[in-house]
Structure 1
Amino acid sequence: MRGVKVSLFGFGNVGKAVARVLLEKERFFRERYGIALKVVSVADTSGVVWLPEGIDLQEVLLVKETFGKLSAWTNDYEVYNFTPEEAVEDIDADIVIDVTNDRNAWGWHLAALREGKAVVTSNKPPLAFHYAELVGEAEKRDVPYLFEATVMAGTPVIGILRENLLGDTVRRIEAVLNATTTFILSRMEQGRTFEEALKEAQSLGIAERDPSGDVLGIDAGYKATILHCVAFGPITFREAMVKGIDGISQEKVKEARSRDRTVRLVAVVEKGKVIVEPREVSLDSPLAVESHENAAVIKTDLLGELAIKGAGAGLKETASGVVSDVIKAALRIA
């Protein structure tokens, strides 16, 4: 049985979901893969809890749920005031998990890789702006750098492109990558205005208090940029052409529906080109998704057209992508 030490950065909703999976499926991972995952540190914005012999995940979840911050956990554990860079350098871990929203996390991803540590992340901006540098460093050090959950949560589009279509030349990818905009557009088809649909999405927790990242197409643009990097080679988000749904009227949505079509925020990815914009798609298209689903249609020279559809949001769904990558990294390390 090989023990693998893990540092978890980010203990909001996604981080807690990842911790629950690691806790609840510990026996499954031991029996199926021969891997014993030991979380040696957990960090939120209040501090870093570090115990080399391993943290009780049940207890850390209880503290977070009860007090809302790890710094309240003062009885049994010392809470350190490390920066992420200090933590990845000082804490002895095999795998660093980043489920934060830290736009500057690429710096400490690099630090972890240079320490010979695998990195697993759901954090999009580091890859959307620094893919070449990060992946290049991981290849140079021969350590895993895995990011399935950055695009389509746990639906394995990154894995398909990175690991399965190795003999194919990808020609084009069309995808719907943002569930919040899909929800808003669906509600507009039912008669709500954009403002009404957005408020409902916010009340349900589907949209953030500041929804600009979703409605302006930025989130989908990050994801489409990452797809380009994997399928065609490195670019940055600055090279993407992005237009959101904020200019879409109720009339436009209803008129499309009257012709058996639906408006969705569609990403089109071709070699050297990323475009994200509202487009009409046929109701029988794989891209005519509803609710929190995402979809991608990958066109290649050999396979032809491959459609993949699944959850593009959700805590368990995102945790699925993160933990899958953790297992991949652990098996490679072992």
Structure 2
Amino acid sequence: MREVKVSLFGFGNVGRAVARVLVEKGKLFRENYGMDFKVVSISDTSGTLWLPEGVDLREALLVKETFGKLSSWTNDYEVYNLTPEEAVKEIDADIVIDVTNVENAHEWHLTALREGKAVITSNKPPLAFHYAKLIGEAERRNVPYLFEATVMAGTPIIGLLRENFLGDTVERIDAVLNATTTFILSRMEMGLHFEEALRQAQSLGIAERDPSGDILGIDAGYKATILHCVAFGPKTFDDARVKGIAEITLGEVQRARKKGKTIRLVATVERGNITVEPKEVPLDSPLSVESHENAAVIWTDLLGELVIKGAGAGLKETASGVVSDIVKAALTITGG
């Protein structure tokens, strides 16, 4: 049985979902892959819980969900006040997982890679602004840098583009990549004005208290930038042309419906070009998604048109992408 040591950064909703999967599927990982994942540290905004023998994930989940912070845990564990960079240097781990939304996390991703540690992340800004540097460092160190959950949660579009189109030339990608805007536009189709639909999304926890990242198209722009990096080569978010849905009116939505179309926030990615903007989409188009679904239409020279569609949000769905990457990284570093 091969033991794989893991450091987890971020113990909010996604971090806890990842921890639950590691607990619930431990037997599967041992039986299918001959691996035992040992979480040696967990970091949240209150500090870093570090135990070389392995943290009891069930207890950690209970403490976080009861008290809201890991620093409330006093029995048997010491909570350290470490920066992420200090933690990745000092803690002996094989894999570093970042499920935070810290924008400058690329700095400690690079530190981890230079320490010879694999990095798994669902955090979009590091890749949307620093893809070339991160991938270059990972290749120089010959360690995995994996980021499936940054785009379409657990729906495996990143793996598809990185690992499966080895003889194809990707020509174009059209995609709906933000579930919050889809929810708002769907509610507008039911007769709500934009502000009413946004308030409903916030009340249901679908939109953040500050929804600007979604409604201004920034989140979709990050994801579209990452798709360009994988499919065509490095670009940054600064190269993307992004327009959100904040100016879409109820009248525009209703007129589109009368034409047999729906308005969705569509990302278009071609070599050298990244655009995100609201577009009218035919109702029978793969991009006419509902609820928390995402969809992408990929065109290649050999395969032609390929549609990939699935959950683009959700805790279990995002955990699926993260955990899949953990297994991939573990298989690589252990020679499995």
TM-score clears 0.5: yes
Alignment pair present for 1:97 and 2:58: no
Give the equivalent residue in structure 2 for 1:182.
182
Q: Residues of 1 paired with 2:188 and 2:66: CA distance?
A: 39
Alignment pair present for 1:64 and 2:102: no
Q: Residues of 2 paired with 1:107 and 1:71: CA distance?
A: 25
How much does 1:253 deviate? 0.4
Aligned-residue Cα RMSD (Å) equals: 0.3
Mapping of residues 144-163 of structure 1, within 5 Å = 144-163=144-163
Give the equivalent residue in structure 2 for 1:114.
114
Give the equivalent residue in structure 2 for 1:252.
252
Which amino acid is the alignment partner of residue 265 of structure 2? L
Q: TM-score, normalized by length of structure 1?
A: 1.00
SS of aligned partner of 2:291 = coil
Mapping of residues 308-327 of structure 1, within 5 Å = 308-327=308-327
Q: Residues of 2 paired with 1:279 and 1:7: CA distance?
A: 41
How much does 1:167 deviate? 0.5
Which amino acid is the alignment partner of residue 82 of structure 2? F
Q: Residues of 1 paired with 2:166 and 2:313: CA distance?
A: 27
Mapping of residues 188-207 of structure 1, within 5 Å = 188-207=188-207
Give the equivalent residue in structure 2 for 1:221.
221
Structure 1 unmatched runs, 5+: none
How much does 1:11 deviate? 0.3
How much does 1:76 deviate? 1.4
Mapping of residues 1-334 of structure 1, within 5 Å = 1-334=1-334
SS of aligned partner of 2:29 = helix
Structure 2 unmatched runs, 5+: none
Q: TM-score, normalized by length of structure 2?
A: 0.99
The count of residues paired between Structure 1 and Structure 2 equals 334
SS of aligned partner of 1:119 = strand
How much does 1:171 deviate? 0.2
Which amino acid is the alignment partner of residue 190 of structure 1? M
How much does 1:27 deviate? 0.4
How much does 1:74 deviate? 1.2
Which amino acid is the alignment partner of residue 33 of structure 1? Y
Runs of 4+ in 1 over 3 A off after TM superposition: none
Which amino acid is the alignment partner of residue 154 of structure 2? G
Q: Residues of 2 paired with 1:284 and 1:167: CA distance?
A: 30
| Identity of matched residues, % | 78
Q: Residues of 2 paired with 1:294 and 1:166: CA distance?
A: 24
Q: Residues of 2 paired with 1:75 and 1:26: CA distance?
A: 25
